[in-house]
Structure 1
């Protein structure tokens, strides 16, 4: 007897039904193109059937097609690059009876794995109609949504053949989101050199100067209401995509934690960019590394956090004396355009804002100074961070500590951590001013 749960599992979702129709559609298109008596006929005259109707379902694959208003030709190319992940056997249509590959249509590393090329897509859509081919070739331009957003890529064959001979490959992130309807977090790689930032702390744990707090409140509002201003207030045409902010000030003043808490507030992942993997001494590599990172982050809602960002966004040279100066200026020009066109959130943190090119400051909507805590904030930090297991000796005066030396939050955490370890090790849990002085001197010697 079939259980009710098993019956429900056999019911196909609208997306699965669409996917089956999509596969049937592209197989019919392949059959028609291969069997066409006159391959010079354009797509509509060749009898290629229209794409299946999209269902009203909330699914990333369907949403992508609707949002970008893809034509049947674009949809066919998108589906062609997805086909190896759902039904690679469909490419058997391109094989001769002797299992020899038709030149320029299919590339394969093994006999069992057939992969589509860009040439396959051009042939499938335009046949040998030159005018149609030239028109469709524009869909492989770097400014097209497929390549601008890193959906597709054409892997070079490193030979003297056509630029379309390379494998037409869909980005794995899009494969997973289209098939499984969820965006998986990216792993650290050469294309995405960044680490996820997470915290168990909340805004209540962040102690800042009143002036910093006020500027941060403005930043929160700008991020929370950006979509409302763009869509409901009609300001979208006048606002740049994404958002850019600079956090500057000494180390340990809460820049990284603030960026992470902003991600928590907006329900967005925050990634700290590994600048050592971005910056290269070879001309053009830094730009290419950043392009890959931004491309992989497009439309994902990420917050990219560039810590010590002045290493990348440094000043250009007014007096160009050699090729290095010229390259630095070209790099700055590229970075300015790249971050301005990025539709996510970029936060750049630096200890030395004066090292940054002034052109960057003008393109960032927010610039917030994170200074050392004032005495009242210092007192609050010492009180909050002090564990109840540590007993205060009469000589220990938090108010005096906060007013005599403006320790940053990170430094206070380190001092308390070292005191706690010392207390456990020596089984002595009372702490006086002399103990703190000794810990501070040890930290200063490091």
Structure 2
């Protein structure tokens, strides 16, 4: 892989720096220079994920070394043991160097103290200066690249283990970022679509509002940063999609992501909400922490369960439920990307959220004109339609959503394949429509 030479060069340079620091600190070589050894000229010469990241954010040599220190155990489990024992062969406890041992990983794991030792040695002013690498204002923390795992029992922060985000581990080693796994710690799945804007059948007013939302996604960086509006506006954006099921809310979210090159994650609300006090906030915190600074679109489908109206306080459960709403309101408002809430009814959403939406977009049931367009779009070219089928008649007679029509088309096509035919007959289509009506308890006439 093209990443390997760069990583090998980076490890060699880090090993050289560790040797220099130990020789200097323990005076094993009184003639060692006081200046940090210069990196080899070729260590970032190749265009890799690591070199691109360093160049994009103009990281100085100390930040670069911090990255390599955090990455080293993922590349060579015994890297630090070998580098340290090469200079200090006698077994001993060296608190100056920091480090710890993991539960499964038996090699030396760097801590914040390890970084301070390698970069700053004994100079107190340098050690304090390099602690800023882990401050909330530094790129590493803002972008959630790496952090110090908080130690327990009030121990010094820098004694905590240095943790490189798994996403960046994958990026620097393999050259790409793997999407987060769907689980209780990250209750959201990435959603995509192969459809185009032309496949979205909505009225002109709704489409205009959606395109306005697309405009914000594309131009908000310029508006906030170059035009200086971030002093007056929150970085994020909140939108409410409301309307009957199957009217295009999820598809719209997918298309917004597709045409603005943003990943869209659909949040599983059932995995977020917990009956245990405090667990819902914990689940939300994990979700938003993971999504922060990723520029993702978060899509909360059936959002009523999380964003529903607050109740009058009758007991402790009502009190904590209202606290959850307040906490969620704060997290949504502070999120720096686009949050879309989807609900069947606007009135189901708590007024505190409604006041903070920049866009409230209604997705109505399609009228006859829209239904005609949907019928014309849905059937694949591989099937032939019975001449008795009249799309205009179907559009006028049957009030169906886009999802309903898609279900009808899918059933008809599967039945055609089952019987080895490529023809859709009127009787079969009528039966499929009746079947769809029965699913939702409507009367078919």
- Structure 2 match to 1:378: 371
Q: Normalising to structure 2: TM-score of the pair?
A: 0.79
Any idea what SS the aligned residue of 1:251 has?
coil
Aligned: 1:350 with 2:350: no
Q: Given the alignment of the two structures, is residue 224 of structure 1 paired with residue 218 of structure 2, yes or no? A: yes
> What displacement does 1:413 show?
1.0
Distance 1:120 1:12 in 2: 25
Corresponding position: 1:415 with 2:404: no
Is the contact between residue 298 and residue 338 of structure 2 (CA under 8 Å) also seen in structure 1?
yes
Q: Is the 8 A contact 1:252 1:411 kept in 2?
A: yes
Q: Which residue of 2 aligns with 1:197?
A: 191
CA separation of 1:193 and 1:383: change in aligned 2, threshold 3 A: same
- CA deviations on 1:172-196 (whole Å, 9 max, x unpaired) are 1112223444333333244433222
Q: CA RMSD in A?
A: 3.8
Asked whether the 8 Å contact 1:107–1:167 carries over to 2, the reply is yes
Q: What is the count of residue pairs matched by the alignment?
A: 427
* Aligned partner of residue 307 in structure 2, secondary structure: coil
Decide which of 413, 426, 430 is 2:425's aligned counterpart: 430
Is residue 182–residue 188 contact of structure 2 (8 Å, CA) maintained in 1?
yes
- Structure 1 residues 437 and 312, CA gap change in structure 2 (3 angstroms): closer
Query: What 5-or-longer segments of structure 2 have no aligned partner?
Result: none
127-136 vs 295-304, greater mean Cα deviation:
127-136
Residues 420/205 of structure 1: CA separation in 2 closer, same or farther (3 Å cut): same
CA separation in 2, counterparts of 1:159 and 1:179? 34
Q: How far off its partner does 1:253 sit?
A: 0.4
For 1:31, the equivalent position in structure 2 comes to: 22
| Map 1:182-261 → 2, pairs under 5 A | 182-261=176-255
Cα 1:10–1:67 change in 2 (3 A) is closer
Cross-structure match for 1:4: none
Report the Cα offset of residue 30 of structure 1.
Answer: 3.7
Residue by residue over 1:262-286, the C-alpha shift from the partner in whole angstroms, topping out at 9 and shown as x without a partner, is 1111122222122233223333333
Distance 1:205 1:115, change over 3 A: same
Matches within 5 A, 1:1-400: 19=10, 22-24=13-15, 26-28=17-19, 30-31=21-22, 34-35=25-26, 47=34, 49=36, 61=50, 64=53, 74-87=63-76, 88-94=78-84, 97-102=89-94, 105-109=98-102, 113-125=107-119, 139-140=133-134, 145-155=139-149, 161-317=155-311, 319-386=312-379, 389=383, 391-392=385-386, 394=388, 396-400=389-393
The answer to whether 1:444 aligns with 2:402 is no
Matched position secondary structure for 1:84? helix
Shift of 1:259: 0.9
State the distance in 2 between where 1:179 and 1:365 align. Answer: 40
Q: 2-side partners of 1:219 and 1:422: how far apart?
A: 40
Contact in 1 for aligned 2:224/2:235 (Cα 8 Å):
no
Q: Give per-residue Cα distances to partners, 1:175-233, cap 9 Å, x unaligned.
A: 22234443333332444332221222111111112221121121122222223333554
Q: Distance in 2 between matches of 1:163 and 1:288?
A: 23
Displacement of 1:99 in angstroms is 3.7
TM superposition score normalised by structure 1: 0.79
Which whole-Å deviations, capped at 9, do the CAs of 1:234-275 have from their partners, x for residues lacking one? 434434224332211111001111111111111222221222
CA contact under 8 A between 2:99 and 2:109: conserved in structure 1? yes
* Alpha-carbon distance in 1 for matches of 2:308, 2:336: 22
Is the 1:241–1:340 Cα contact (8 Å) retained in structure 2?
A: no
Shift of 1:417: 2.1
Structure 1 unmatched runs, 5+: 1-8, 38-45
d(CA) in 2 for partners of 1:237, 1:387: 51
